[in-house]
Amino acid sequence: MLRPDRSDRSAVGLVRPLDVIRVRSRNDRESGQAMVEFALILFPLLLLVAGIIQFGIALNFWLDEQRIANQGARWAVVNGWPNCPLVPKTPACTATTVGAGNSLDTYLTNQALSEGLRNTVAVSVCYPDDGDNSTPRGAVGTPVRVRLLAPFELVPLLGWDLTLRGEATMRLEQEPTHLDPATPDC
């Protein structure tokens, strides 16, 4: 930038930095560009954030199902769970319909910590075939499997559904008196 000499005090047209900014802002036609770019990126960004939140909720539900399945399998192998006495064939503990008495299915259904699982989870307890024909189902050492299934709406706006499944298999430590080993494979 050229500066006038001291002797040239009558020089006019000194450029001041503020004047340059004012002139440029008057001539600038890109003043709304940032707002338009933000508006264009906002929808995909919100979809990404909502997807991450939905994935976190689904992961929480699945972890809750896994915890319940592990607890249920452990209670099935020792033939006792809370509110069910260890004496054989207690009628309240052997109810076959979910919601009746203190059956293991009912107890596990009520163990869901996640609000979305409480009314939607389906519990099944079964004795899968271990491949050994010499031991009957329900004998000590044979497997017992607890499986939980619950529907989950992954993307509520688009109606994408998936079924979350929690499963645990353990070997019996006691003869099952509260559960029926003749239940079919699950």
pLDDT of res. 119? 80
Write down the residue that tokens 């076959």 correspond to.
Answer: 96
Structural contact between residues 105 and 124, judged by C-beta atoms closer than 8 angstroms: yes
Structural contact between residues 175 and 165, judged by C-beta atoms closer than 8 angstroms: no
pLDDT of res. 98? 43
Give the Å distances, CA to CA, from 49 to 35, 45, 150. 20, 6, 24
* First CA to last CA distance, the chain: 85
Q: How far apart are CA 180 and CA 72, in angstroms?
A: 15
Q: How far apart are CA 122 and CA 118, in angstroms?
A: 10
pLDDT of res. 28? 64
Position 49 in a domain: yes
Domain count of the fold of the chain: 1
Give the Å distances, CA to CA, from 65 to 2, 26, 126. 77, 63, 17
Residue span of the structural domain in which 122 resides = 34-171
Position 73 in a domain: yes
Position 159 in a domain: yes
Position 129 in a domain: yes
Position 65 in a domain: yes
129 secondary structure, DSSP code: -
Token pair, residue 76, equals 């099935």
CB-based burial of residue 72 (10 Å sphere; 0-12 exposed, 13-18 middle, 19+ buried)?
Answer: buried
Ordered per-residue pLDDT tens for the chain, 186 residues: 556 556 555 555 555 566 666 666 666 666 688 889 999 999 999 989 988 998 999 999 999 999 999 999 999 888 888 877 666 666 657 655 444 557 888 888 888 888 888 788 888 888 888 778 888 888 888 899 999 999 998 877 777 888 999 999 999 888 887 777 776 666
pLDDT of res. 160? 81
Position 92 in a domain: yes
What pTM was computed for the model? 0.72
Chain-centre distance of CA 120, in angstroms? 14
Q: How far apart are CA 144 and CA 130, in angstroms?
A: 10
Position 13 in a domain: no
Position 27 in a domain: no
